[in-house]
Structure 1
């Protein structure tokens, strides 16, 4: 992995953690009219947690960061297949696992950046095929 790729993955991890750490109402507002599947969110965060292991070996994350990311990965792993079905906005308001994940993401950001309140990533509009 090159330095540019590492920086991009580190930034994406921090941005996604900011989304996970946000208040539920802010997460729902960020989702807006986008239909994001819960399974896709879980898979994305699990991937970021795994990639972060390699980034930590290269010095991009500290051991405490990795403890927090591993805790998030473990909690995500506890979400069974039936609770991964459906839209994420529904899961955010009905599945208490997301409250736990929110707390863990806040711990990660607090340790890493000194504050869990971070700007949410820009929401990318769906591709319409128009140029």
Structure 2
């Protein structure tokens, strides 16, 4: 099992950003393939974002992307709540402004750090 060292934490962050940055059709295909719901995209980012400041302190990613990471977190927070349930449907990925904003920000971070936002979406194992 891989330790929770910097490279593991960095991989989790960039994999969550890859999913967030993907176009809506790719996101829906990824969700369907793994049998998970739309909020899994936000949950993966949330878990990775919790380590972002530590990673920035370690130099990966650069501190310049921290504001964009915080903004993604804020956008997802704005989308939460019982009255926002329709924003978490798969259809919302292609029409909701919050998803569009989060996607743009994730792409900005990936381009700033890796020079490219189109990354392979990660494989996940779902324990049921």
Find the structure with the greater CA-based Rg: 1
Q: Please tell me the root mean square deviation across aligned C-alpha atoms, in Å.
A: 2.4
User: What TM-score do you get using the length of structure 2 for normalisation?
Assistant: 0.81
Q: Does the alignment pair 1:101 with 2:90?
A: no
Distance 1:119 1:78, change over 3 A: same
Query: 1:22 maps to which residue?
Result: 22
Instruction: Please list every run of at least 4 consecutive aligned residues from structure 1 whose deviation after the TM superposition is greater than 6 angstroms.
Output: none
Query: 1:111 maps to which residue?
Result: 112
In structure 2, C-alpha distance between the alignment counterparts of 1:7 and 1:42, rounded to whole Å: 21
Q: Is the 8 A contact 2:107 2:117 kept in 1?
A: yes
Q: Is the 8 A contact 1:18 1:117 kept in 2?
A: yes
In structure 2, C-alpha distance between the alignment counterparts of 1:102 and 1:122, rounded to whole Å: 19
Structure 1 position 112, deviation (Å): 0.6
In structure 2, C-alpha distance between the alignment counterparts of 1:13 and 1:67, rounded to whole Å: 15
In structure 2, C-alpha distance between the alignment counterparts of 1:104 and 1:24, rounded to whole Å: 15
Distance 1:62 1:37, change over 3 A: same
Query: 2:123 maps to which residue?
Result: 122
Distance 1:88 1:10, change over 3 A: farther
Query: 1:50 maps to which residue?
Result: 50
SS of 1:103's equivalent in the other structure is helix
User: What TM-score do you get using the length of structure 1 for normalisation?
Assistant: 0.79
In structure 2, C-alpha distance between the alignment counterparts of 1:112 and 1:29, rounded to whole Å: 26
Gaps of 5+ in 1: none
Matches within 5 A, 1:2-17: 5-17=5-17
Q: Is the 8 A contact 2:6 2:55 kept in 1?
A: yes
Q: Does the alignment pair 1:71 with 2:54?
A: no
Query: 2:90 maps to which residue?
Result: 89
